[in-house]
Amino acid sequence: MPSTPSAASGAAAGATRRGRPGYDQQSVLTIAVDVFNKHGYEATSMGILAENLGITKSAIYHHVPSKGDLLRLALDNALDGLEAVLDDARASNGPADEQLEFVLRGTIQVLTERLPFVTLLLRLRGNTEIERDALARRREFDHRVAQLVDAARSEGSLRSDIDPRTTTRLLFGTINSIVEWYKPGGPISQEKLADDIILMVFHGLHSS
């Protein structure tokens, strides 16, 4: 029996859906984050995303409602990981210097395991509400780490002759710089990287 025009159209649409590459939301997000980091979020159009994904723009909307939703999901990925470190009981129990070391190690682990997502977070300019909300969460994270630095300083486990604001900024500057030069799978493992940074932070660069 010949197909009616509507049936033929439905069959063609079904064939098109079956022919799409096997993406899920997470794989779309992973590629989108790489494109955002390469071109900048604002300069990345849905057309550029579609080209990099090898699918149509309408196919992207099958996974997310908008480009902004991709940004929100990406930033949540980074921030949820960082906030989970602070929510761990080890970040609030024991001597302040041990809490601080745990948080720094955890932060380094998140940065290395979620490198593209944290890179995107650190490059935000605050031009959209989604970005401003993420920056507010990041500032709160930074503030809580700064409180640990101050507590360790008050306990006498960190030097008191260095301005605490300088200590905090140097800590963040050192750790945040990881996104610019660290290569996962390279000669430095995540564990070795964390050990080296912790050793430098707490004991300096003088040889014993």
Rounded Cα distance, 146 and 104, in Å? 11
38, two tokens: 């390469």
Give the 3-state secondary structure of residue 167. Answer: helix
| Topology (CATH level 3) of domain 22-64 | Arc Repressor Mutant, subunit A (1.10.10)
Looking at residue 91, the DSSP 8-state letter turns out to be G
Percent of the chain exceeding pLDDT 90 equals: 72
User: Considering only the top CATH level, what class is 68-203?
Assistant: mainly alpha
Q: CA–CA distance from 87 to each of 70, 84, 131, 141 (Å)?
A: 25, 5, 23, 11
Delimit the CATH 1.10.357.10 region(s) of the chain: 68-203
Q: Give how far Cα 196 sits from Cα of 58, 77, 99, 164, Å.
A: 47, 26, 18, 22
> According to the model, what pLDDT value does residue 15 have?
36
Q: Which of 104, 108, 103, 109 is nearest to 88 (CA)?
A: 103
Q: Kindly report the backbone phi and psi dihedral angles of residue 132, in degrees, each rounded to the nearest multiple of 5, phi listed first.
A: -65, -40
Write down the pLDDT at residue 21. Answer: 53
Identify the helix (H) or strand (E) that includes residue 17: helix 5-18
Q: Is the pLDDT of residue 1 over 90?
A: no
Phi, psi of 40 (to 5 degrees): 95, 140
- Mean pLDDT across the chain, nearest whole number? 88
Which residue pairs, CB below 8 angstroms and at least 24 apart, start in 185-192? Answer: 190/108, 190/109, 190/112, 190/113
Q: In this model, does residue 171 exceed pLDDT 70?
A: yes
Closest C-alpha to 41, from 139, 108, 117: 117
Q: Please list the residue range(s) of the chain that carry CATH number 1.10.10.60.
A: 22-64
Output the pLDDT for position 208: 60
The single-letter code of the amino acid at 186 is G
- pLDDT-based confidence at 50, cuts 50/70/90? very high
Token pair 């800590």 is found at: 171
Does the structure show a pLDDT above 70 at 178? yes
